[in-house]
Amino acid sequence: MGSIRLLGTDRTARIIGAAIKVHRRLGPGLLESAYEACLAYELEQSGFRVQRQKAVPLVYEGVKLECGFRADIVIDDRVVVEIKCKEELHPVDQAQVLSHLRLLHLQVGLLINFHVTQLKDGIKRMVNNYQELADSNLSADEEELYREGR
């Protein structure tokens, strides 16, 4: 977005607008990967920096482990978007978004279920109340591993 810095709510509102545009054009019933590709395209066309299937690092006892966790979309290194296509969302879907936020050290996430008639009924905005690394009990090595993972 150039030199303009978007506020969190403005950014998520624009992301939701792009998701609504995709849903209006495609409707429900497709695979998650189709919505992910189309949403990523729309966001890139709007000037966002988009990472698809971003690896989510896990640091356990000071060791960075590659566990295969992936966030569907990360936008501007600030917002995680998890895409679902299912009859209804479950608490584990929300827990997944919160885990990605915590492990990526991000604060805002969107859980978007495209398998609904009106997309507004399938969107959940989530906020992670994490503490900054400097305030945590992590060792310097753990902090460095987390920063490398970003």
* 80, 55 Cβ separation under 8 angstroms: no
Q: How many CA atoms are closer than 13 Å to the CA of 140, on its beta-carbon side?
A: 0
pLDDT digits 0-9 by tens, 74-92: 999 999 999 999 999 999 9
In 3D space, the residue among 63, 55, 53 whose CA is nearest the CA of residue 149 turns out to be 55
* 109, 126 Cβ separation under 8 angstroms: yes
Q: Which pLDDT belongs to residue 143?
A: 46
What value does the mean pLDDT of the chain take? 85
Q: Which pLDDT belongs to residue 80?
A: 97
For residues 102 and 116, what is the distance between their CA atoms, to the nearest angstrom? 28
- Mean pLDDT for 11-28 is 96
pLDDT digits 0-9 by tens, 104-149: 999 999 999 999 999 999 999 999 875 444 344 444 544 444 444 4
Q: Which pLDDT belongs to residue 48?
A: 97
Q: Tokens at residue 55, please?
A: 């690896």
In 3D space, the residue among 82, 86, 74 whose CA is nearest the CA of residue 110 turns out to be 82
CA-CA-CA-CA torsion sign (3, 12, 97, 81)? negative
Q: Tokens at residue 39, please?
A: 């949403």
For residues 45 and 54, what is the distance between their CA atoms, to the nearest angstrom? 19
